[in-house]
Amino acid sequence: MTPQFAYSEWAGASFPVEDFQAYTSPFGYRQSVSGYNYQEFHYGLDLAAPRGSYIRNWWSGTVVEVSDNSNCGTSVVVESGRWLHIYCHMEGHVETSGGRKYMIDRAGGVQIFEGQEVTAGQRIGRVGMTGRTTGPHLHWGMKYDNNWVDPALVLRAMYGLQQQQISRNSIPQLPTQQARLQPEAGDRAQ
């Protein structure tokens, strides 16, 4: 299922990693990174960045899960309406206080609780090497109505919207044909 993208709603969306270097593994089938000779499905987009680079929340929402016990390593999952966005391989670990789970990265000054509201662009962690990884990067996964979506499609849509906004704001608008045909006030016959 491919969601219908509401471009105008993404005006406030944020690119998910600071100090971005490269896309290292796309969404879809790929050669196994574990060294075995087989294809595996990669449910996200890998964005390389130096270890310790801050990760920013893509879109405003609620943290629905923090975890540090899977191939994803230390991770945060945010729900934004019908979207889930998953951030993996982060610095830090999960702790519990007063019955509430939270991800803590003391060195980065980040603490994110399950149930916490987060805004687009808010720092929610840092790029790490936790879980199943071969180098520092953010694994960014996305679901729409519980179906996996290629995050590259979302980035393309966001970029397209930004380009439209830049074009509208920076290129002077020519007067309409109707306005150009109207005589100036001083040119009118009295």
- 3-class SS string, the chain: CCCCCCHHHHHHCCCCECCCCEEEECCEEEECCCCCCCEEEECCEEEECCCCCEEECCCCEEEEEEECCCCCCEEEEEEECCEEEEEEEECCEEEEECCEEEEEECCCCEEEECCCEECCCCEEEEECCCCCCCCCEEEEEEEECCEEECHHHHHHHHHHHHHHHHHHHHCCCCCCHHHHHCCCHHHCCC
d(CA 101, CA 162): 36
CA distances 5 to 1, 14, 27, 165, 169, Å, are 12, 16, 18, 17, 23
d(CA 183, CA 186): 8
pLDDT at 175 over 60: no
- Per-residue model confidence (pLDDT) at position 162: 56
| Domains of the chain and any CATH numbers | 16-169 (2.70.70.10)
Q: Whole-number mean pLDDT of the chain?
A: 84
- pLDDT confidence band for 54 (50 / 70 / 90): very high
63-83 pLDDT, tens per residue? Answer: 999 999 889 999 999 999 999
81: β partners: none
- pLDDT confidence band for 156 (50 / 70 / 90): confident
User: Which range, of 31-40, 51-60, 107-116, averages the lowest pLDDT?
Assistant: 31-40
133-144 pLDDT, tens per residue? Answer: 989 999 999 999
Over residues 51-66, the mean pLDDT reads 98
d(CA 37, CA 102): 37
